[in-house]
Amino acid sequence: GENVEQHPSTLSVQEGDSAVIKCTYSDSASNYFPWYKQELGKGPQLIIDIRSNVGEKKDQRIAVTLNKTAKHFSLHITETQPEDSAVYFCAASTSGSARQLTFGSGTQLTVLP
Amino acid sequence: AAGVIQSPRHLIKEKRETATLKCYPIPRHDTVYWYQQGPGQDPQFLISFYEKMQSDKGSIPDRFSAQQFSDYHSELNMSSLELGDSALYFCASSQGRGTYEQYFGPGTRLTVT
């Protein structure tokens, strides 16, 4: 089955700086890679996603890049704000009949004011 | 916009008891996924349903069962509860079997004492 590795496990940045979180996946059949933000006591919130036919996708301060050859994808957050502080999960899904998500282990991002 | 609704939000049960968790997907979403998230861990896929039929099965114990009803809501039934079943249980929904994007509910926190 799919295995997703995520690092770093914790990341602290100063407000206004950029944050980068990286993930690698094992199953070459995976073709959908979402990122979720989870605040304490809440459900994961889909913040951006990318499909395997695209190399980069941007949405305001958030961008995701995908390198299919190397099987890794990254989340980039620019101009970080204190409200960006949360746990971020990457995930991967295959194109089979099941769309189940395999998650990385999460990154606790802390943006220091 | 309407989101995924889960009930109850908190549930306390004793060992060997039974629990039922409910999930109401986003309107017009016909696919439901259940995930279990232990403390400090990433969500683990349990089971999914598409158009009231089981679609895929993950690491769901035999003590657990689930179904999706005609109005697309889903219930996760958990019997012979064990201490290790204490976790957050999330339901996610998507529109159509071919759709990748999954939207998560706020979760049910189950505590087994």
Mean per-residue pLDDT of chain A? 93
Q: Is A49 on the interface with B (CB under 8 A)?
A: yes
Nearest CA in chain A to B31: A99
Q: What is the pLDDT of residue A95?
A: 62
DSSP string, B88-111: EEEEEEESSTT----EE---EEEE
Q: What is the pLDDT of residue B8?
A: 98
- Across the interface, of A44, A97, A106, the residue whose CB is closest to B104 is A44
B100 versus A107: the higher-pLDDT residue is A107
**pLDDT under 50: residue ranges of chain B:** none
Q: At residue B53, what is the residue type?
A: M
Q: What is the pLDDT of residue A1?
A: 81
Q: What is the pLDDT of residue B1?
A: 76
Q: At residue A22, what is the residue type?
A: K
Q: What is the pLDDT of residue A98?
A: 60
Q: Is B100 on the interface with A (CB under 8 A)?
A: yes
Q: What is the pLDDT of residue A110?
A: 98
- For residue A59, the chain B residues in CB contact (below 8 A) are none
Structure tokens at B92: 């996610």
Residue A97: pLDDT over 70? no
- Across the interface, of A44, A100, A103, the residue whose CB is closest to B56 is A100
**Sheet strands (E) in chain B:** 5-7, 10-13, 19-24, 31-37, 44-50, 53-57, 64-68, 74-78, 87-94, 103-104, 108-112
Q: What is the pLDDT of residue A91?
A: 96
Of the ranges A3-7, A29-33, B64-68, B70-74, which one carries the lowest mean pLDDT score?
A29-33
Cα separation, A46 vs B51, in Å, equals 23
Q: What is the pLDDT of residue A88?
A: 98
- Across the interface, of A36, A43, A100, the residue whose CB is closest to B105 is A43
Nearest CA in chain A to B33: A100
